[in-house]
């Protein structure tokens, strides 16, 4: 009665959301599938832990799910019927400024327009035009840019040109490919704070505002600004749901079974070696972890062409990762800026500290140099606003995130173990400074910090703490992600596929890498496509 007496059609390495989604589709296609996970829990970044106190549910990584309803996986795998449940906050995000004013972004764009108009009528009107225009081609963009294998940037540009983009669109242009998010915002908007609000949204999605070329996908990002949703009961519930789908269709998820080697026979991946022995994969092995581990650690060098190894060695990771503070609160925070805009108290995701595009430049320059800013600039989310079950009755769970270097200039990554707590305190102070009820309600019960070094140790495929598993930069997107050779989900090792965040489009709860890999597998193996094709 051993664990792996049987062999499987497919073995998926890593039980993150992409690997599990792929396994779900394959299992439902009638394949026998096993997902092998190194950690003690399935879910990868869908990780919810009671880090501070019992009953305070902290999402350690994935917190914002912005493709609910857009990603085909939710419907195809019937995730709702299998138990996932989302809240869709009516006040999506906001910014609190040092002069006591605030901006709020609502699901209702009329309200967003009114908030923007208090800062600039012109920008508010521009925003509405942008919103409406993007709405017109959002579906098309999502399908062609995300839920399909990567298209070469040159082809995209040519397609836009032949469509006559300059005449038909105010905001799209062939020139976006050489512009940064900041340049795009400067071109269309006049008010610093509105620009900061929109740049904040991009930055939270790992699109650094001053990186040249990232404006090319900005319309897709902006089109999702009202679709940020919260997985009730913690993001990990989505992982439970995926597991239910897999098992229901006959698949298996095995946490705490680290894959030690991808076994290759005659140039073909035929299974994996785990501590218990060999597990055979009759049709394929799909790796959802980073390419460095896949090619440098799990495959013997003799099975990997030198050119592939060279490409993998050159894959770049984000130069700004995250430092997290997880807070157990005695109640919901209220903000001084509510005097200006009462809705700020209900904004799910808050920008505290970025007031202009220049602030982003300074922040990322500072982070890239391995330093911590004197006054941290925060991204705050209090999930209990929209999911009271994530904390005991009357209490609240809070999250502060700040951009941070993985390695500190003095002491490297290891130095975080010494300095994390103190930096956490500074982040908490900054948050307290904009709250109206911090002291009166003794809001902070306890907090835990999670440093970039912690992240990289816990989630080892988040190399250097990079939760996008590969730099968000034109040199590492689309047909370049992770390398030209590996960008189409196939590998030089026959029977070995890549289905994780290292692949196009990138990390985040899009399921797109898994979905796109599925398309390639379906083609190679003649799978009958029962799912909705987009």
Partner 1 sequence: MDKSEFDVVIIGGGHNALTCAAYLARANVDVCILEGRHEWGGALYTAENTAPGFCHNIHANFMEFLHFMPFYADFDLPGLGARTIYPEAQAGIAFSDGRPPVIIYREDMIERTCQNFAVYSERDAETWRALKTKANEFAPMMFGNLYTPPAKFDLQKDGLPTVNNAPMTFKFFGLDEEMAYKSIRDCVDELFETDEIRALFYRVAVEFCGPPIEWPGTGGTFLFACLWMPGCWRMMVGGTHRLNGAMVTACLKEGVTMRESSRVERVILEAGRAVGVETVDGRRYTARQAVVSGIGLKDTFQDLVGEERLSDYYRRRVAHFKDGPDQVLGSVAMALREAPDYKSAARDPDINKAWYQVVGYDSAEEVLNYCRAGHIDRIPELPGAGVWVNSIWDPSQAPAGQHNLTGWYFFPRASCLSEAEWEEVKRSYNGRFLALYEKFAPNMTPSNVIADYLHTPLDQERGMRMREGDFGHGAMSPDQTGLMRPFAGASRYATEIEGLYLCGSCTFPGGGVTAAPGYNCFKILCEDFGYPEVWRSESRSY
Q: How many helices (H) and strands (E) does the chain have?
A: 16, 18
Q: Which is nearer to partner 1, 87 or 165 (CB)?
A: 87
Tokens 């300059």 label which residue? 166
CB of 256 to partner 1, least distance (A): 3
We find the least distance from the C-beta atom of residue 190 to partner 1, in angstroms, to be 44
What's phi and psi for 511, nearest 5 deg?
65, 5
**Shortest Cβ 434–partner 1 spacing (Å):** 28
Q: Which is nearer to partner 1, 115 or 324 (CB)?
A: 324
Closest approach of partner 1 to the CB of residue 34, in Å: 10
Smallest gap from residue 375 Cβ to partner 1 (A): 28
Beta bridge partners of 87: 230
> Could you give the CA distance from residue 105 to residue 357 in angstroms, rounded to a whole number?
18
Tell me how far CA of residue 475 lies from CA of 262, 389, 465, 484, 497, in angstroms.
28, 42, 20, 10, 22
Residue 110 dihedral angles phi and psi, to the nearest 5° = -65, -40
Q: Which is nearer to partner 1, 326 or 401 (CB)?
A: 326
Which residue from 501, 525, 521 is spatially nearest to 46, judged by alpha carbons?
Answer: 501
Least distance from C-beta 400 to partner 1, angstroms? 19
**Can you tell me which residue has the tokens 């996908």?**
217
User: Considering beta carbons, is residue 81 or 161 the nearer one to partner 1?
Assistant: 81
Q: Which is nearer to partner 1, 135 or 250 (CB)?
A: 250
Q: In whole angstroms, what is the distance from residue 30 CA to residue 250 CA?
A: 8
Question: Which residue, 236 or 406, has its beta carbon nearer to partner 1?
Answer: 236
Least gap, CB of 104 to partner 1 (angstroms):
26
Query: Considering the complex, what minimum distance in angstroms separates the CB of residue 458 from partner 1?
Result: 4
- Rounded to a whole number of angstroms, the minimum distance from the CB of residue 455 to partner 1 is 8
Q: How many residues does the chain have?
A: 534
SS3 labels along 213-232: CHHHHHHHHHHCCCCCEEEC
Whether the CB-CB separation of 294 and 269 falls below 8 Å is answered with: no
Summarize as ranges the residues that interact with partner 1 (CB under 8 A).
Answer: 1-3, 5, 40-41, 48-51, 53-55, 57, 80-81, 83, 85, 232-234, 236-237, 240, 243-244, 247-248, 252-258, 275-276, 389, 392, 454, 457-458
User: Considering beta carbons, is residue 414 or 533 the nearer one to partner 1?
Assistant: 414
- Compute the least distance from the CB of residue 450 to partner 1, in Å: 9
CB 71 within 8 A of CB 412: no
Q: Considering only CA atoms, give the Rg of the chain.
A: 23
Distance CA 284, CA 8 (A): 9
Q: Which is nearer to partner 1, 295 or 453 (CB)?
A: 453
Quick check: 146 and 223 in contact, CB under 8 A?
A: no
| Sequence-ordered list of residues with C-beta below 8 angstroms from that of 425, at least 6 positions apart, any chain | none
Distance CA 46, CA 75 (A): 19
What is the spatial distance between Cα 225 and Cα 194, in angstroms, rounded to a whole number?
14
CA angle, 25 as apex, 20 and 30 as ends, to 5°?
A: 120
As a whole number of angstroms, the distance between CA 337 and CA 484 comes to 48
Provide the minimum distance between the beta carbon of 254 and partner 1 in the complex, in angstroms, as a whole number: 5
Q: Which residue, 368 or 421, is less far from partner 1 as judged by CB?
A: 421
Burial bucket for residue 527 (CB in 10 Å: 0-12, 13-18, 19+):
middle
* SS3 label, residue 59: strand
Q: Which is nearer to partner 1, 2 or 301 (CB)?
A: 2
Q: How far is the CB of 368 from partner 1 (least distance, A)?
A: 25
Segment holding 325, helix H or strand E: strand 321-329
Residue closer to partner 1 by CB (options 215, 329) is 329
């Amino acid at each position: 009665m051993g664990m792996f007496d049987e062999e499987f059609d497919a073995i998926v390495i890593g039980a993150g959301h992409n690997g599990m989604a792929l396994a779900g589709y394959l299992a439902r296609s009638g394949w026998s599938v096993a997902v092998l996970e190194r950690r003690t829990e399935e879910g990868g970044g869908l990780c919810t832990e009671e880090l501070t106190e019992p009953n305070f549910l902290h999402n350690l990584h994935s917190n914002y799910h912005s493709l609910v309803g857009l990603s085909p996986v939710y419907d195809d795998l019937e995730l709702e019927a299998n138990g996932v449940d989302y809240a869709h906050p009516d006040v999506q995000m906001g910014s609190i400024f040092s002069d006591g004013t605030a901006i709020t972004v609502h699901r209702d764009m009329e309200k967003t327009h009114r908030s923007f108009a208090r800062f600039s009528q012109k920008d508010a009107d521009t925003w509405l035009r942008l919103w409406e225009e993007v709405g017109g081609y959002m579906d098309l963009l999502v399908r062609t840019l995300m839920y399909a294998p990567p298209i070469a940037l040159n082809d995209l540009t040519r397609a836009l040109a032949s469509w006559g983009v300059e005449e038909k669109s105010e905001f799209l242009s062939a020139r976006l490919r050489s512009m940064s998010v900041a340049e795009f915002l400067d071109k269309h908007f006049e008010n610093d704070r509105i620009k900061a609000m929109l740049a904040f949204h991009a930055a939270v999605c790992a699109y650094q505002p001053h990186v040249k070329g990232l404006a090319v996908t900005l319309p897709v990002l902006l089109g999702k600004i009202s679709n940020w949703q919260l997985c009730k009961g913690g993001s990990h519930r989505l992982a439970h749901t995926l597991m239910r789908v897999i098992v229901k269709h006959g698949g298996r998820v095995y946490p705490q079974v680290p894959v030690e080697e991808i076994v290759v026979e005659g140039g073909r991946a035929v299974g994996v070696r785990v501590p218990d022995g060999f597990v055979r994969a009759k049709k394929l092995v799909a790796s959802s972890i980073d390419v460095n581990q896949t090619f440098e650690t799990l495959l013997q060098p003799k099975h990997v062409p030198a050119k592939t190894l060279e490409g993998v060695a050159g894959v770049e990771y984000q130069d700004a990762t995250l430092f997290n503070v997880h807070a157990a609160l005695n109640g919901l925070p209220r903000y001084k800026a509510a005097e200006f805009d009462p809705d700020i108290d209900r904004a799910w995701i808050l920008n505290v500290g970025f007031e202009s595009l220049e602030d982003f430049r300074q922040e990322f320059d500072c982070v890239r140099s391995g330093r911590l800013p004197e006054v941290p600039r925060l991204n705050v989310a209090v999930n209990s606003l929209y999911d009271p079950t994530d904390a005991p009755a009357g209490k609240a769970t809070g999250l502060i995130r700040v951009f941070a270097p993985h390695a500190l200039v003095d002491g490297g990554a290891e130095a975080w173990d010494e300095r994390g707590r103190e930096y956490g305190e500074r982040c908490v102070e900054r948050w307290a400074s904009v709250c109206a009820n911090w002291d009166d309600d003794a809001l902070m019960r306890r907090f835990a910090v999670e440093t970039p070094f912690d992240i990289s140790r816990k989630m080892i495929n988040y190399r250097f703490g990079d939760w996008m598993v590969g730099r968000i930069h034109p040199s590492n997107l689309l047909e370049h992600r992770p390398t030209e050779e590996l960008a189409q989900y196939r590998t030089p090792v026959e029977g070995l596929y890549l289905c994780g965040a290292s692949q196009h489009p990138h990390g985040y709860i899009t399921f797109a890498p898994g979905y796109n890999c599925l398309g390639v597998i379906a083609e190679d193996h003649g799978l009958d496509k029962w799912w909705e094709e987009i």
